[in-house]
Amino acid sequence: MEARIRKYISKGVPASLFEEPGVWKYPVKICHLYLTDESTLNAAGKPFSLEEQITLAEQAEPSRTQWTKYCTDTGRIAHVVPKELQQKLLPPDERKKNPVSLTL
């Protein structure tokens, strides 16, 4: 993917375009639900329930499940925003002044 991005930038596409959420690349292996084999047992010696499987998936890879339990900016940013963009974010106090934040 990086080679394609560099190719577009060399043809004159602004690099800042690739910082927009609409063009962020998805994880390589998108999986909406993790199902464990019935032979995989939990601590009680029983097969994992669906609820247990979802909980484990959320903890392991919250950005893939889209059922994230991270309800703070810090939690969302850590798991969703690409690392190279995290350094460019405005401080929390300044983000609160954003007109979009004021409408929520």
Task: Name the residue ranges covered by the structural domains of the chain.
Answer: 27-102
pTM above 0.75? no
Q: What percent of the chain has pLDDT over 90?
A: 8
Instruction: State the number of CA atoms in the 13 A half-sphere of 72 facing the CB.
Output: 4
The secondary structure of residue 29, as a DSSP letter, is S
Sign of CA dihedral 76, 78, 83, 85: positive
What are 1's two structure tokens? 């993917």
- The per-residue pLDDT for range 56-80, each reduced to its tens digit, is 877 777 665 554 455 566 776 776 6
- Would you say 57 and 33 are in contact if contact means Cβ atoms under 8 Å apart? yes
> Is residue 2 predicted with pLDDT exceeding 90?
no
